[in-house]
Structure formats: C-alpha cells, structure tokens
C-alpha cells in the first residue's frame, strides 16, 4: 500500500464537535481498522485523479462523489456483518441506515451543489432526490432539497474552490442540521469527513 498505508496510519485525527475539540464520544468507534472508518485505497484515489485531471471535474465534487460510492459499499458490508456489529457496537438495522445517511449526506450535497454550474435548479434537485417510496426516504429527499441551496451558497461564497474550503462548511451544515438526531448518523458523518480530509491531503490539497 505504500503511501496510502503511511498517510492513513499517521494522519492527524479530526473528529471534532462544534467547538473544534476532539470528541471523546466518537474516538472509541472511529479508529484505524474500525469497521466504521473505511481506509483510503488506490482505486478510489485514482478515480478521483481521473475525474480531476482528465474529465476536468471540480476537486471538491470529485472527492465527494467517490465518498458517496464508498458509503454505499460500506453499507453493503455492514449489512453482511450486522450480527457482529450488533454484538460489539450495539447497532441495529436502523442504526446502520442512520450511519449510511450521515456518511453520504454531506458529500451528496457537495456533489449536488457543484451541479448548479451546469444545470438549472430543478434538474439538480431531480438528480439529487430521485423518486422515493416510504416516509423515511421521502423525508430524506426533502432534507436534501432543503439543504441543497445552502450548500450551493457555500460553494459560491468560497474564496477558493479547493476541496476543504468548500467541503468542511457543508459537513458543519449537516452536523448542525442533522436528518435524524441519532448517534450513528453523527458517527457516519464524522467518518465521512475524516475520509474526505484524508483524500484531499493525498491529492495535494491542504
């Protein structure tokens, strides 16, 4: 793994609460090797490089889109290992779903906000909020649609389009306005933010 293993093991942790201090309630579950903190990997890294260098995509959205894919893969693994996760971490099906929503909400909004440069608002909303059945899925679509324009404002207000300048305020937005007040939503959000920061650093962004 080379650089990836070194960067992963020695990267400074940034699990923070709103005060910017290390959050001790998350450090027990978000650590190197935790099933809730995916490691960086070469495949995702190279996909981001392709999106940025060959397809001329925004670095902020390239990282965000890959984080979303990682979240979906992570959720599939969690469902396979649900009995283990329940025994050791006290989660259940709803907890895993809340983790997934916390993990993908900020990068989904970052990727969606980046689409406003290319598509009209209604098309962006349609892309970010596909038709859904059931009250939870419909409520989650409404949540994303509500925060999408605030995420767009963050994009437009950023003095630099470097990934962390755009992404971290959107992570804070979701932290301050969570879809559900559940610890696994916040665990997923913190894991996603940490992974986003790691990839931004690997790609050369401070």
Cα 68-72-78 angle, rounded to 5 deg: 135
Q: How far apart are CA 200 and CA 192, in angstroms?
A: 12
Each residue of 108-163: pLDDT tens digit?
Answer: 999 999 888 888 888 888 888 887 788 888 999 899 999 999 999 998 888 777 89
| Cα distances (angstroms) measured from residue 175 to each of 93, 123, 124, 169 | 22, 26, 23, 10
d(CA 203, CA 206): 9
Task: For 15-72, write each residue's pLDDT tens digit.
Answer: 333 333 336 678 889 888 899 999 988 889 888 888 887 767 789 999 999 999 999 9
Show the domain range for 66: 3-202
Give the per-residue pLDDT at 23.
64
3-class state of residue 205 by DSSP: coil
Domain count, the chain: 1
**How far apart, in whole angstroms, are the C-alpha atoms of residue 131 and residue 144?**
13
């Amino acid at each position: 793994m080379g650089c990836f293993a070194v960067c992963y093991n020695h990267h400074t942790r940034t699990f923070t609460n709103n005060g910017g201090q290390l959050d001790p309630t998350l450090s027990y579950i978000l650590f190197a090797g935790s099933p809730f903190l995916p490691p960086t990997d070469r495949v995702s890294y190279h996909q981001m490089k392709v999106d940025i260098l060959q397809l001329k995509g925004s670095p902020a959205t390239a990282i965000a889109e890959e984080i979303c894919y990682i979240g979906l893969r992570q959720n599939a693994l969690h469902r396979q290992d649900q009995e283990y996760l329940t025994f050791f971490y006290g989660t259940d099906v709803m907890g895993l779903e809340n983790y997934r929503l916390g993990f993908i909400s900020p990068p989904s909004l970052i990727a969606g906000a980046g689409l406003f440069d290319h598509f009209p608002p209604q098309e962006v909303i349609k892309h970010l909020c596909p038709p859904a059945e059931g009250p939870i899925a419909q409520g989650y679509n409404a949540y994303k649609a509500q925060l999408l324009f605030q995420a767009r404002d963050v994009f437009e207000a950023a003095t630099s389009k470097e990934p962390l300048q755009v992404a971290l305020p959107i992570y804070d937005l979701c932290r301050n306005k969570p879809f559900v007040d559940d610890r696994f939503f916040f665990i997923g959000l913190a894991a996603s933010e940490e992974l986003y920061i790691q990839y931004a650093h690997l790609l050369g962004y401070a």
